[in-house]
Amino acid sequence: MCDGPGAPPRPAPPSPPPGPGAPRRRAPPPRGPARRPKSIELKPRPGAPDVLDISFTFDATKPCLVSTFVMATESVRTMELTPAGGAPDRLPFPAGLGQRFEDPTGRHSLDLSRHPEPSLTSAAGSTYPLAIRLEVAGLGAGGEGLAGLPPGCAQEDWMQSHTTLAELVRGDGGAWSVRVLKQKIWHEGTPYELQEIYGLGAADGDAGAAGDDDDAMTECIICMTNDREVALLPCRHMCMCAECARIMMSPHNTSATRAKCPICRRRVHNYLSIRQEDRGRGGGDGNV
Ligand SMILES: [Zn+2]
Ligand SMILES: [Zn+2]
């Protein structure tokens, strides 16, 4: 067996062993019943332009409760969210795809006159200008429900939630938009932070999700034969098959390409196998 840089990559066996730098696989984080909000909008209220009404689209496969928070401080361990000025009640939604969150009472909104602009446009520490939480409306083992707990409460073992943490961006024309900083899920007492994998949509044959030519390909960028099946870390480019990643990371590879991402040239510390069966679980969200 030759792993030298000149050796042509061989077709990968069905389940190649992880390379020396490969992390041990953990069970993939679950794809929760409530999915990340999309198309988050902040619309100035007619007659009160300092008030921005929060709206967005989301998917839920179970009935869920939605809450929003302005200038909320997050406790990393329990995911408790403490907003500066309290939070409006959660709004209930049925299961359904492509639902639109809009609050007819106007309480899920952001009042620009109450917050200096610099605090809205950059998260400080664990305080986020805008947070959105989708919680599954389930009951705990003791029959207790979310309704009896305040919005943003510390998450209990029986809860499932998806939280988006974001800051605001002011466009040239003065319009406000949202930049998502983190997406986290809470599942069985554990918080997970979701990470985007660049090229995962292309590897699934969804070229429309890709931004450039490299992403539009579904084959390994090195051997042009096998499917893309590993994400390089920390850059998260999904551009290679497992065999080529193993060769690239091998200590026997003395070429200049050793441990460098072929797309962005960043040093690769590790790589993560994304197996075909995992893609159906997290692929749509681009989650690890
Ligand atoms: Zn390859
Ligand atoms: Zn890269």
What CATH number is attached to the domain comprising 263? 3.30.40.10
CA of 195 to the centre of ligand 1 (A): 23
Q: Looking at 150, 174, 194, which one is the last position of a domain?
A: 194
Ligand number, closest to the Cα atom of 240: 1
- What is the C-alpha separation between 171 and 152, in angstroms, rounded? 29
CA of 120 to the centre of ligand 2 (A): 31
CA of 37 to the centre of ligand 2 (A): 26
The closest of 174, 190, 192, 81 to 130, measured between CA atoms, is 81
CA of 194 to the centre of ligand 1 (A): 26
The pTM score is 0.67
**Residues 210 and 67 placed together within one structural domain of the fold:** no
In the structure, ligand 1 is a single-atom ion and the residues with CB under 5 Å from it are 220, 222-223, 226, 241, 244
- For 208, the domain range is 200-285
**Residues 56 and 178 placed together within one structural domain of the fold:** yes
Ligand number, closest to the Cα atom of 197: 2
| Predicted local distance difference test score (pLDDT) of residue 84 | 87
Ligand number, closest to the Cα atom of 260: 2
CA of 232 to the centre of ligand 1 (A): 13
**Residues 156 and 256 placed together within one structural domain of the fold:** no
144 in a domain, yes or no?
yes
| Predicted local distance difference test score (pLDDT) of residue 33 | 72
1 in a domain, yes or no?
no
- What is the C-alpha separation between 137 and 131, in angstroms, rounded? 19
Number of domains in the chain: 2
**Residues 79 and 168 placed together within one structural domain of the fold:** yes
117 in a domain, yes or no?
yes
Ramachandran angles phi, psi of 137, nearest 5°? -80, 50
Ramachandran angles phi, psi of 236, nearest 5°? 70, 25
| Predicted local distance difference test score (pLDDT) of residue 141 | 66
26 in a domain, yes or no?
no
Q: Looking at 194, 222, 243, which one is the last position of a domain?
A: 194
Ligand number, closest to the Cα atom of 226: 1
The pLDDT profile of the chain, 288 residues, written as one tens digit per residue, is: 444 444 444 443 444 444 444 444 445 455 667 777 888 999 999 999 999 999 999 998 888 999 999 999 999 899 999 998 889 999 999 999 999 999 999 999 999 999 999 999 999 999 999 999 999 877 766 667 887 889 999 998 888 999 999 999 999 888 999 999 998 999 888 898 887 777 776 555 443 333 444 445 688 999 999 999 999 988 889 999 999 999 999 989 888 888 999 999 999 998 888 865 555 444 333 333
12 in a domain, yes or no?
no
Ligand number, closest to the Cα atom of 248: 1
CA of 220 to the centre of ligand 1 (A): 4
32 in a domain, yes or no?
no
Q: How far is CA 247 from CA 1, 9, 224, in A?
A: 11, 8, 15
Which amino acid belongs to residue 49? P
Q: How far is CA 34 from CA 4, 57, 102, 134, 230, in A?
A: 47, 11, 17, 6, 26
| Predicted local distance difference test score (pLDDT) of residue 53 | 97
115 in a domain, yes or no?
yes
**Residues 209 and 190 placed together within one structural domain of the fold:** no
Q: Looking at 194, 210, 227, which one is the last position of a domain?
A: 194
**Residues 215 and 74 placed together within one structural domain of the fold:** no
**Residues 267 and 139 placed together within one structural domain of the fold:** no
**Residues 67 and 188 placed together within one structural domain of the fold:** yes
**Residues 228 and 170 placed together within one structural domain of the fold:** no
Q: How far is CA 89 from CA 33, 99, 227, in A?
A: 21, 19, 47
**Residues 110 and 168 placed together within one structural domain of the fold:** yes
Which tokens go with 49?
A: 């332009």
* DSSP element (H, E) containing 246: helix 242-249
Query: In the beta sheet, which residues pair with residue 182?
Result: 165
**Residues 183 and 213 placed together within one structural domain of the fold:** no
**Residues 227 and 139 placed together within one structural domain of the fold:** no
Q: How far is CA 177 from CA 9, 58, 166, 233, in A?
A: 46, 17, 10, 29
149 backbone φψ class: left, alpha, beta (φ>0; ψ -120 to 50): beta
